[in-house]
Amino acid sequence: MAFPDSFITELVDRSDIVDVVSGYVRLTKRSGANLFGLCPFHSEKTPSFSVAPDKQIYHCFGCGKGGGVINFIMEIENLSFPEAVEFLARRAGIPVPEQSNDRDSQRRARMLNLNRDAARFFYEQLSTPEGQRAGEYMARRRIAPATARQFGLGFAPNSWDSLLHAMERLGYSPRELFEAGLVRQGKKGGFYDAFRDRLMFPVIDVRGNVIGFSGRILGDGEPKYLNSPETLVFNKSRNLFALNLAKKSKSGYIILSEGNIDVVSLHQAGFDSAVASLGTSLTPEQARLLSRYTDQVVLAYDSDAAGVKAAQRAITILEKLDLRVKVLRMSGAKDPDELIQTRGADAFRNLIEASENQVDYRLRAVTDKYDLSVDEQKVEFLKEATDLVARLPGPVERQVYAMRVASLSGIPTDAVTAEVERRRKRLLRSARQENERRQSRPERQAQPAEKELHYADAASAAAEEGLIRLLYLDPDLGRNPALPEAEAFSSPALGHIYAAIRSRLQQGEAVSTALLSETLSQQEMSLLIRLLQKPERLAQGEQALQDYIEKIRQQKELAAGNADLNALAASLRERKGYKGKDV
């Protein structure tokens, strides 16, 4: 059962896209009526994400994503259409009509309820005799009972089926537990608990839902940490441990660490903005998630070689979002937890205040690689250091660090500055040439910005876009009996958009991006938004319609003729026994 059009229309009217998007993206007015900001869906330093208040749509000129307010919430919150509608309805204070037939939404809600009940089960196990082992472990790690309650920590018993049977008593099936990643299936078809003899950390999203778990083994064995697999509600690359708590912090920055214990220890010590990635290196999706809540990130990674490598990678990802990045230098401790336990919260606070910005950190890493008393190594140092400085955006920043490099190497500042600017000009020239090459390819210009889509026949696709644009902007043209069937379209994506619009027009229903959001995929909606922004001959709508229809027919006949010729050529080659290249 679909939502009534009247409900969707009212919901969109009461969910101004500027207000909604501003909760995730810092928007500023740049030109005309549109607002611009850094795209939340891909990494960029120059704002290419546009919001049009008059049209109530968004469009990114960089990655091509676009749509209305419902699409935005679907994409940024990773929600289905019904869930995005419910999200906006709660925000606007509008009751939601029943959606009894939405199976995906029901499965998602059921899985979230199962995860919540599983988290309660794990928490309750701390009070059992077997759970005393977990209590002793937390005591050794100096995790206070109040902190354990704050994070909802729990214990998975060393049993094959304790959780399975407990959840079955609550009405959940083994198959539901398997789909949630809470049990595994044996070779003989039975199920057993996935988490056993582990300290359990519920992973809670920013809306307060338990979406997965991370379990740390209490004894010896591997893996040390076991995380939930990808499920309908859990994607580890799009979530961060403890962000539900850190988003409320007033510190002005977010501390990014590597482990769950580090995060718990930091919060207990008063650093309430600490988060951690979930068993992976920092991902671009996690970085964009961070950028919604802060403009400054403090990296508190382990001090070993793996931690240094992870910090370098994180810096590269974070700086693309124009986030200010600082890096802690932890000497005498391998991670934040050990530092706090051995030297106290004040020592960690002093480290934050003395932390290096990302340029200082990277320059020091380059310096540590070379022996500057050896001429050959000094030359290699200068090559790498000047390349690093040349990539800095501001001229003052480049000059300051050029002077630093000169001081470290004993080379005159003028010589280092000249080398930095030479390298920068070369970098800019290469970037400009690559952009010109990309833009000059006519076949690329004719293709949609959405990477998942491709036009097999660019000429026909241009006419198909025009036909869709006309019907959307002038619904009266939908009565024309000469309109082709969607099967005549060369692009399946454009054919699906056309069929969705034409179906609504044939039933006398209104057409809008909001009303099409449930029918079209995100890629198709982005494509629709992009093609709607192109100019159209509405004053001569009927003639333009006929022109587009004729072009689609001609290209279809041409494609059929080419197919016949290719078949004939293949037949002739086969008769002659020719196995070479096509002629």
| 156-186 tens-digit pLDDT | 999 999 999 999 999 999 999 999 999 999 9
Residue 567 has a pLDDT of: 63
pLDDT per position as a tens digit, 488-528: 999 999 999 999 999 999 988 889 999 999 899 989 999 99
Segment 471-499 mean pLDDT: 92
Residue 582 has a pLDDT of: 44
Give the residue ranges of DSSP H helices in 320-344: 336-343
Segment 97-125 mean pLDDT: 86
Same structural domain, 249 and 355: yes
Last residue of a domain, one of 234, 252, 272: 234
Same structural domain, 135 and 227: yes
Segment 224-240 mean pLDDT: 92
Segment 354-374 mean pLDDT: 90
Same structural domain, 12 and 64: yes
Structure tokens given for 49: 């994400």
Residue with tokens 């070369």: 426
Kindly state whether residue 572 falls inside one of the protein's structural domains. Answer: no
Question: Residue 91 above 80 pLDDT?
Answer: yes
Angstrom CA distances, 42 to 222, 283, 332, 465, stand at 35, 11, 38, 25
Last residue of a domain, one of 217, 234, 251: 234
Q: Domain range holding 270?
A: 243-362
Residue 573 has a pLDDT of: 66
Question: Residue 59 above 50 pLDDT?
Answer: yes
Strand partners, 254: 297
Same structural domain, 393 and 420: yes
Residue 291 has a pLDDT of: 86
Structure tokens given for 23: 């909760």
Positive/negative CA dihedral, 341, 346, 347, 353: positive
Find the CATH number of the domain harbouring 27: 3.90.580.10
Residue 583 has a pLDDT of: 36
How far apart CA 573 and CA 582 sit, in angstroms, is 9
Strand partners, 50: 36, 59
Segment 92-100 mean pLDDT: 79
Task: Show Cβ contacts of residue 257 under 8 Å, excluding neighbours closer than 6 positions.
Answer: 263, 266, 274, 275, 276, 300, 301, 335, 336
- 107 exposure class (CB count in 10 Å sphere: 0-12, 13-18, 19+): middle
Find the CATH number of the domain harbouring 213: 3.90.980.10
More confident residue, 122 or 333: 122
Same structural domain, 229 and 283: no
Q: Which of 369, 353, 256, 370 is nearest to 313 (CA)?
A: 256
Same structural domain, 45 and 127: no
Kindly state whether residue 447 falls inside one of the protein's structural domains. Answer: no
Same structural domain, 247 and 207: no
How far apart CA 261 and CA 247 sit, in angstroms, is 19
Question: Residue 565 above 90 pLDDT?
Answer: no
Residue 203 has a pLDDT of: 97
Residue 385 has a pLDDT of: 95
Containing H/E element for 403? Answer: helix 395-409
Find the CATH number of the domain harbouring 482: 1.10.860.10
Residue 226 has a pLDDT of: 93
Question: Residue 451 above 70 pLDDT?
Answer: no
Kindly state whether residue 129 falls inside one of the protein's structural domains. Answer: yes
Same structural domain, 323 and 388: no
Last residue of a domain, one of 211, 234, 257: 234
pLDDT per position as a tens digit, 262-288: 999 999 999 999 999 987 789 988 998
Mean pLDDT for the chain? 89
Same structural domain, 228 and 250: no
Kindly state whether residue 327 falls inside one of the protein's structural domains. Answer: yes
Same structural domain, 347 and 421: no
Question: Domain count of the chain?
Answer: 5
Residue 185 has a pLDDT of: 94
Question: Residue 407 above 90 pLDDT?
Answer: yes
Question: Residue 477 above 50 pLDDT?
Answer: yes
Same structural domain, 180 and 270: no
- Tell me the Cα Rg of the chain: 29
pLDDT per position as a tens digit, 336-363: 999 999 999 999 999 999 888 889 988 9
More confident residue, 150 or 188: 150
In the Cβ-directed half-sphere of 168, how many Cα atoms lie within 13 Å? Answer: 13
Q: Which of 315, 455, 330, 336 is nearest to 391 (CA)?
A: 315
Task: Say which range, 103-107, 188-192, 254-258, 420-424, has the weakest mean pLDDT.
Answer: 103-107
Residue 561 has a pLDDT of: 66
Residue 439 has a pLDDT of: 54
